[in-house]
Structure 1
Amino acid sequence: MNGNRRHWPRQQVSVPCLVDTPENGEGASSARILNICPGGVMLEADQAFMPGQRLTIVLEHGPDALLFESMGVMTGFVRWNQIADPENPSHYHVGVALERDLPRRIFMTEH
């Protein structure tokens, strides 16, 4: 048995976004979506998020943002959080399980 527990393959993207949490009184922070699958996204962010924390992800304009069509705002829960680069400990990768699966047509688009 391998250690990969993924339900779906990932599609690499680079989509700037803003990430906010209900308890954040400082407003949304900038991040980037690095990959997507029907049930989630992986973010690159300058702050850590706690597993179980609810996030709102608002897409910014960019060439890959067109893949999301009408999915301008997504909500989900943090599944995991890790330092992206040990030499830059304020840079994180964050796995987010979406509350609503992304439409399958997003994954049929040639990239």
Structure 2
Amino acid sequence: MARYRITPEDEAFVAEFLSRPFGYKSPGLQRVLNLMRGQGPEGKYVLIVREPYRRWGLGRLPARRGDPIAEIAGIEYLSLAEGERDVFLRRWRDLTGSDAPASTGEA
């Protein structure tokens, strides 16, 4: 069975996610998100709640369930949307080997 991979045609979905990280997703974006979320846990970026509804940090999952999450020092988000956007961009880079297209206007 062929496994879905991110292709250059999927770059349009970056702008869609960055403009609206919550709510309805187009089928194409949902396919990209399923790929990002379906990867094995080792090294996957995740948000860490530092203060509920106010502050989040960034971490990476361990290879084995139950092992501690590796927190990345110096990274803090003051909105959940900001954190979700950054995790999306980091996972994109991990899967494609390159940064998301700059034409999205988001960082």
Q: Aligning the two structures, in what range does the TM-score lie when normalised by the shorter sequence?
A: under 0.3
- The answer to which structure has the higher strand fraction is 1
TM-score (norm 2): 0.24
TM-score (norm 1): 0.24
- The answer to which structure has the higher helix fraction is 2
